[in-house]
Structure 1
Amino acid sequence: MLILASKSKARKKLLEALGVKFRVMPARVKEHADAVRHPARTVAANALLKARDAARRVKKGIVVGCDTLVWQDGRAFGKPASLKEARAMLKRLSHRPHVLYTGIAVIDAASGREMTEVEETRIEMEPLSDREIAQYFRKVSPLDKAGGFDVQGLGGSFIRRIRGCYFNVVGLPIARLRVMLKKFGVSLLLVLCGFAVNGCSTEYNLATHKEDTMMYSTEREVAIGDSLAAQVEKNYTVVQDPQMNERLDRVGAKVAQASDRHDLTYRFRIIEDPKDKDLVNAVSLPGGYIYIFKNLMTVADTDDELAAVVAHEVAHIVARHSIKRLQAIWGYNILTILAGATKNAEAAQGVQMAYAFLLSGYSQEDELTADGMGAIYAKRAGYNPQGMIEFLDKLRKRQKKEPPQALSYFKTHPGYGRRIRATKEALGENIDFDDFIDTL
């Protein structure tokens, strides 16, 4: 029997999701408070204190104790005591990288054998404004969360990059725990555990020229895309205009063929928001789905311009930006998306969260990468890559006349000058002084 010496809801939920049989026995100890000098030693010592407390109350069983703290610039952050403290804490953490330490202690209650280890994960967030923090706190209570936010929920949308174990940020570094328990003769290699922990593969991405650690095969990525696409088509009207669809399919097919990824089928569709028919935007989803808003088709009135927009979205799919963001933020929770077609309430909620998360836009870094890659793909496909510059110039002029909509191409992408530079750099062109001036 596995015994969890913690009352953490996140840790309990993680083990339940992995199908692990265990019981909860919260520790009743006073924790060490030496984190300012030794954060790693402190979490290890506290985890051992908790495990020992629970082990003394049972005759047999494998006891797991944990302790977590957030560390930034020589300061430790725990759970905020008030909303004022939570606001100050979250704002500070969002503006500079921080490290999350988790100590794990495993004890065999029968023999008294002990083992402790520490997992360390670096987190980088998008800088948050006071308004964004206030909006978040209206939906999520920060008082029971270390650092004031939940990485597996809405707080996950704040995170730009996680370096290390995602599960550590959720509350329990499963991979490290699995190795520790194995030394005690306990196996966590159950169906879901094997998928989430050992199912990752490392592959070289031809587009980004980097090693990517992927938790999902192309087949699973397409399944996730199917669920998200159903959500998009539920919320928007799919445009059936034969002429417009023929144009998009023709341009899309050429761009897709010129891209660096051919292990999936690209699907191009035109959609329209019944409540805002002037919306100009494009959206890409895992598995090859690309949606172009009807009004964008009108604004991009040359095939060169349309090809540039399509190539940008294809580049997101080639680089797997959406699937990497989802696996970095939600980890095992994304499994619920695969059952999105069922009537399971948790699955439906998972689809809704992922859908809203992806439509809120990629990181600035991902957008600029897609600009550079997209320019190359458009050129390979036989189109003039300057089409993107021409298209952006049109949108810049439109923006001067009216404010952008919530999901407009301006709202979810970097400034004009930065995008021009990214495009020119990818094409090996000279960068002018004007290109360093962001006019958006």
Structure 2
Amino acid sequence: MKIVLASTSIYRKALLDKLQLDFTCHKPNVVESRKPNESAKQMSLRLAQAKAEEVAEHYNSGLIIGSDQTASLDNEILGKPGNAKNAKAQLQQCSGKDVTFYTGLSVIEAASKKQISIVEEFKVSFRDLTDKQIDSYIAKEAPFDCAGSFKCEGLGISLFTQLQGRDPNCLVGLPLIALCDVLAEFKIDVLTLNSQV
């Protein structure tokens, strides 16, 4: 079955590559803005569904995978910093605190319109960070396109004292364990697909 990732994110593509599936990428035409009084969890689910649904309109068959991530600190949503100044302010805000990430996942079968959606939660506990540590980290990894201002797959792991959750891939933007579960609901076994055994 054709698989389409409703994203052009290099991070999500690299994650999906781990499952050794044949897939293509299609950029969704979705405005990623927050609705009034919308929680981080609600926003991640709505946007994941919207991305999958928008891309599914372009296909007659196949599975469309949509995903979206939000981060919450003290009930405030953390966006992508965009630049060094904002990244520093965000990391100063996170220092010594717990940040909860919500990763929405939505998979649609284009032909039947069957849709399965979930939200995975993952919590990170930040170290007490000095300004020198923050400046050094930002200079080395420039995490300007990442919610929370870090790349956990790289040096960003050094910012934390603890990780809590089912799947650390959530922090990068695509919950692979949950995706395997959802694909199984669509009769796709990742372990035997394309197997030569």
Tell me the TM-score normalised to structure 2 length: 0.91
Q: Are residues 72 and 139 of structure 1, via their aligned partners in 2, closer, same or farther at CA, if it must alter by over 3 Å?
A: same
Q: Are residues 78 and 157 of structure 1, via their aligned partners in 2, closer, same or farther at CA, if it must alter by over 3 Å?
A: same
The alpha carbon displacement at 1:53 in A equals: 0.9
Q: Greater relative contact order: 1 or 2 (C-alpha under 8 angstroms, separation 6 or more)? A: 2
Alpha-carbon distance in structure 2 between the residues aligned to 1:54 and 1:185: 21
Residues 151 and 169 in structure 1, CA contact (< 8 A), matched pair in contact too: yes
Match of 1:167 in 2: 169
Residues 6 and 27 in structure 1, CA contact (< 8 A), matched pair in contact too: yes
Match of 1:19 in 2: 20
Alpha-carbon distance in structure 1 between the residues aligned to 2:78 and 2:116: 26
Runs of 4+ in 1 over 6 A off after TM superposition: none
Residue type at the aligned position of 1:180: V
Percent identity at matched positions?
32
Match of 1:80 in 2: 81
Match of 1:234 in 2: none
Q: Which structure is higher in helix share? A: 1
Match of 1:34 in 2: 35
Deviations 1:307-329 (A, max 9, x none): xxxxxxxxxxxxxxxxxxxxxxx
What SS does structure 1 have at the residue aligned with 2:148?
helix
Match of 2:10 in 1: 9
What SS does structure 2 have at the residue aligned with 1:58?
coil
Deviations 1:196-244 (A, max 9, x none): xxxxxxxxxxxxxxxxxxxxxxxxxxxxxxxxxxxxxxxxxxxxxxxxx
Work out which of the residue numbers 178, 186, 189 in structure 1 matches 2:188. 186
Deviations 1:114-134 (A, max 9, x none): 111100011102111111111
- For the pair shown, the structure with the greater C-alpha radius of gyration is 1
What SS does structure 1 have at the residue aligned with 2:8?
coil
Q: Does 1:158 align with 2:143?
A: no
Residues 87 and 138 in structure 2, CA contact (< 8 A), matched pair in contact too: no
Q: How many residues align?
A: 191
Alpha-carbon distance in structure 1 between the residues aligned to 2:136 and 2:3: 39
Residue type at the aligned position of 1:101: Y
Residues 27 and 55 in structure 2, CA contact (< 8 A), matched pair in contact too: yes
Q: Are residues 105 and 6 of structure 1, via their aligned partners in 2, closer, same or farther at CA, if it must alter by over 3 Å?
A: same
Alpha-carbon distance in structure 2 between the residues aligned to 1:36 and 1:94: 26
What SS does structure 2 have at the residue aligned with 1:31?
coil
Alpha-carbon distance in structure 2 between the residues aligned to 1:81 and 1:35: 23
The alpha carbon displacement at 1:32 in A equals: 4.4
What SS does structure 2 have at the residue aligned with 1:121?
strand
Match of 1:241 in 2: none
Match of 1:102 in 2: 103
Match of 2:138 in 1: 137
Q: Does 1:177 align with 2:166?
A: no
The alpha carbon displacement at 1:84 in A equals: 1.1
Alpha-carbon distance in structure 1 between the residues aligned to 2:24 and 2:128: 39
Deviations 1:237-286 (A, max 9, x none): xxxxxxxxxxxxxxxxxxxxxxxxxxxxxxxxxxxxxxxxxxxxxxxxxx
The alpha carbon displacement at 1:35 in A equals: 7.7
List gaps (5 residues or longer) in structure 1.
192-440
What SS does structure 2 have at the residue aligned with 1:147?
coil
What SS does structure 2 have at the residue aligned with 1:128?
coil
The alpha carbon displacement at 1:36 in A equals: 5.3
Residue type at the aligned position of 1:176: A
Residue type at the aligned position of 1:59: N
Q: Are residues 5 and 35 of structure 1, via their aligned partners in 2, closer, same or farther at CA, if it must alter by over 3 Å?
A: farther
Alpha-carbon distance in structure 1 between the residues aligned to 2:16 and 2:38: 32
The alpha carbon displacement at 1:189 in A equals: 2.2
The alpha carbon displacement at 1:183 in A equals: 0.7
Alpha-carbon distance in structure 1 between the residues aligned to 2:90 and 2:37: 16
What SS does structure 2 have at the residue aligned with 1:123?
strand
Match of 2:123 in 1: 122
Alpha-carbon distance in structure 2 between the residues aligned to 1:35 and 1:137: 31
Alpha-carbon distance in structure 2 between the residues aligned to 1:183 and 1:35: 33
The alpha carbon displacement at 1:34 in A equals: 3.1
Deviations 1:34-91 (A, max 9, x none): 3854221111111011001110111111000001011010100121132111101012
Q: Which structure is higher in strand share? A: 2
What SS does structure 2 have at the residue aligned with 1:95?
coil
Q: Are residues 91 and 107 of structure 1, via their aligned partners in 2, closer, same or farther at CA, if it must alter by over 3 Å?
A: same
Q: Does 1:60 align with 2:43?
A: no
List gaps (5 residues or longer) in structure 2.
none
The alpha carbon displacement at 1:27 in A equals: 0.7
Alpha-carbon distance in structure 2 between the residues aligned to 1:93 and 1:143: 15
Residue type at the aligned position of 1:89: Q
